Structure 1
Amino acid sequence: MTLTRTRRAALSGAAALTLLLGPLAAGSGAATPSGSAAGTAAVTASDVPAAMLDALERDLGVPREKALQRLSFQSDAATRVRTLSQALGDTYAGAWVDPAAGTVHVASTAPQRVRGPVARGVTAVAAERSLAELEAIGARLDAAGLPADVATWYVDVPANEVVVEAVGSATTAAADLVAAAGVPADAVRLTSTPEAPSTFIDVVGGNAYYINNASRCSVGFAVQGGFVTAGHCGATGARTTNPTGTFRGSSFPGNDYAWVQVASGNALVGAVNNYSGGRVAVRGSQQAAVGAYVCRSGSTTGWRCGTVQAYNTSVRYAQGTVSGLIRTTVCAEPGDSGGSLLAGNQAQGVTSGGSGNCRTGGTTYFQPVNEILQAYGLQLVLG
């Protein structure tokens, strides 16, 4: 078990972790692999709102043409990964995309099984531990209880290990957690972050709404009957305005999801506000691969983009631990809580919390949208 204060480049740049709820107030491109066995159509300029391309160029320095190539590539990669993960079963150890090389990597404890037409152009990676084994280690960390001096744990898929992130110099607490959980030390890497997570609080995704006339959050995605958002924004029974509604279900901590049933007369729109005078239509909720471009919409900082770093991350907020989150390089600030995360036109999650801000950058975590839909038996409103 090693200790390092400098993360590898793919995981750098964390600052203060916070839930994105605030008080009430007035790259590089990658070429598309040839011979696509998955048959995913290329993404063209007509498929992607201009504001999304503008935001990718602003936040990631990616020219528009390269961004379109990358979005086509990652759409194809998501289809390949889904098929291969099912075929690999309990030997599957995760997948990621390489932004520079334009390659898809699929890890397995039995890499010889990464084969068939869908594996054309895919790099098979031998892994010591399956993704299920790594997530089981994380579950044991959760069971042991993340102390206040531990910010988060997550699975670093390319490294095939679990990362436990301590707050500041409190690395002893992280090491003690690993020991208390009784997990293999060689499967865990300790790192640190300067600041602890906290909450942010401040029917089109990304728009503001208000809770009990006291705080502001952002709409995640329209669903039949209302919208989904972050659980820390409001408890079950809390009332909302703009639009008028009621929290019919809410889970936080442990999870960070909720759904709000809105009053009749509110129009539910299968789209997300791009904060440039337009909207991005939501076409589905297929999970993107690690390394994929994603963009977030929120009522404080608008439309911001970054990449996926990890899935099934556990984060220790002041209110308790939240597990199963998506870790990204997208920035966010108070009031963005609950807002939409998209990969192209595919819904990914709702904003939970993070570190840093949109002036200096940071890390933001998202509750996966498919888990929310399953928890409450909801269906996305599609554009």
Structure 2
Amino acid sequence: MSHKRIPKRKAAFAAGSVVALGAAAILLPNANASQGGSSNDAAPKTMKATDASGLASQLQGLLGQTFAGSYYDAGARQLVVDVTSGGNGDAVARAEQAGAKVREVSNSLAALKSGAQTLKARATIPGTAWAVDPKTNKLAVTADSTVTGADWDRLTSTVKSLGDGMATVKRSTGTFKTLVSGGDAIFSQVQGGTVRCSLGFNVTASDGSPAFLTAGHCGVAAKQWSDSQTGQPIATVDQATFPGNDFSLVKYDDPNTQAPSEVNTGQGQAVQITQAADATVGEQVFRMGSTTGLHNGTVTGLDATVNFQSETDPNGVDTVTGLIQTDVCAEAGDSGGSLFTQDGSAVGMTSGGSGDCTNGGETFFQPVTAALQATGAKLGTAGGAGAGGQAGSADPSASAGGQAGGGDAVGGGGAADPSATASDGTGDQSGAGAGAAGQNGTGAGDGSSSLTQTR
């Protein structure tokens, strides 16, 4: 299989962009509903999810121990804040005045976090996960298909010990796995075969050098990464953390690399990434990965704990905490790929989950804000767009797909087509992003990684 060499000084990747095995895809509809306010200052106000996240952080400080979580009601476009009974009446009134919808719940945030600690101590079983669900004011516990027999009894008895109304347990189809294997596909040759992951977001490292973020289990699996399956390495892992957290900082070997701060969604469409943001339960998010392309869904939980079966110890558990839980689908090869919002906020990198993009499932993401804080990196680059040209802006009213295709992702900016729809065809993904040239790859299921965690 031939591949094209990326010219020096041009961007090696457009963050999270689709490559040969990705398909033409653009953002899904209904992501940019018009904004408006309430005529009654004391009534809940309509707002964007990013504004709701900021307001929730402020109100948590205002409400103190009576704050029991919050979520974004996407239908009503309102922030819903949970408070326990007997709370500070003045603080609640101020929260309502600020535009939040306040509701009284039974379980305090402290009690829910204590329950999570009990689960950690008694039920850290491969194939389990849990997170606080502010919509139900309970711990949402999930078990994959491998949790059976004594493990299932242990999990359910631990949940029961938390008391009535504290937690729910549900089954997930498939198996919780990390998704090592495809934004842009990146490859590394290791003993036993090829490891393939996805680039998350281009960043500038603390020393000023160009770099990108991806999943930590990818950086632990391999040190050097290429933009094609048979190409020479173009980037080297600088920091990698897994388990515990799941992020890697990978520096481009050429210090003159210009790495645009954007997510390429195919057909010349790109979303400019302008900031990092914390996720909010209930908000719509988009995931880009080189195996399945672009898909969207909703944030369903925060500060999630996931217990993956260890890839190196048959009897071990790789536990990752602080993750974002969603109902967005993903498959093997999407690890490290971009999770972002329609307005250009970087939210997370794909860690793992269960299910697939045919039947659905749960997917978990490493928060970008935590990765940036830990590595000292910043989103974007001072170098600007590469010589390949500026990709057109994504059309939020167009539909999205994500079926695997074949061909080259050719650098060179193409104008956005407002009437474009997703396709499952093969061929060139023209205008794949600023300076992103010659991104060759193979289709999904190329047997490239024994480390794959499926979704």
TM-score when scaled to structure 2?
Answer: 0.64
Residues 56 and 306, structure 1, Cα contact 8 Å, conserved in 2: no
Gaps of 5+ in 1: 1-24, 27-50
* Gap change, CA 1:377 and 1:90, over 3 Å in 2: farther
Return the structure number with greater relative CO, CA threshold 8 A, min gap 6.
2
1:124 is aligned to 2:102: yes
1:340 is aligned to 2:338: yes
* Gap change, CA 1:269 and 1:86, over 3 Å in 2: farther
* Counterpart mapping for 1:228-239 below 5 A: 228-235=213-220, 238-239=223-224
Residues 329 and 356, structure 2, Cα contact 8 Å, conserved in 1: yes
Residues 236 and 250, structure 1, Cα contact 8 Å, conserved in 2: no
Q: 1:255 aligns with which of 245, 248, 251?
A: 245
* Gap change, CA 1:143 and 1:212, over 3 Å in 2: farther
Range with greater deviation from structure 2 (316-325 or 111-120):
111-120
Give the aligned partner of residue 212 of structure 2. 227
Gaps of 5+ in 2: 1-19, 37-45, 228-232, 311-317, 385-455
Deviation at 1:171, TM superposition (A): 7.3
Give the aligned partner of residue 34 of structure 1. none
CA RMSD between the two structures:
3.0
Residues 219 and 239, structure 2, Cα contact 8 Å, conserved in 1: no
Structure exhibiting the larger radius of gyration computed from Cα positions: 2
Quote the Cα distance in structure 2 between the aligned partners of 1:158 and 1:111.
21
Deviation at 1:183, TM superposition (A): 5.9
1:56 is aligned to 2:28: yes
More helix by share: 1
Render the CA deviation track for 1:84-124: whole Å, top value 9, x for unaligned: 12222333211112233333201122273233377443211
**3-state SS of 2:373 partner:** helix
TM-score when scaled to structure 1?
Answer: 0.76
* Counterpart mapping for 1:79-118 below 5 A: 79-109=54-84, 110=87, 112=89, 113-116=91-94
Detail structure 1 runs of 4+ shifted over 6 Å in the superposition. none
* Gap change, CA 1:207 and 1:164, over 3 Å in 2: same
**3-state SS of 1:55 partner:** coil
1:210 is aligned to 2:187: yes
* Gap change, CA 1:234 and 1:288, over 3 Å in 2: closer
Query: Aligned pairs, how many?
Result: 325
Give the aligned partner of residue 372 of structure 1. 371
* Gap change, CA 1:183 and 1:111, over 3 Å in 2: farther
| Equivalent AA in structure 2 for residue 222 of structure 1 | N
1:189 is aligned to 2:136: no
**3-state SS of 1:84 partner:** helix
Render the CA deviation track for 1:63-94: whole Å, top value 9, x for unaligned: x764x559963233223212212222333211
Residues 172 and 354, structure 2, Cα contact 8 Å, conserved in 1: no
Residues 103 and 123, structure 1, Cα contact 8 Å, conserved in 2: yes
Quote the Cα distance in structure 1 between the aligned partners of 2:35 and 2:355.
30
Residues 111 and 124, structure 1, Cα contact 8 Å, conserved in 2: no
Deviation at 1:165, TM superposition (A): 1.7
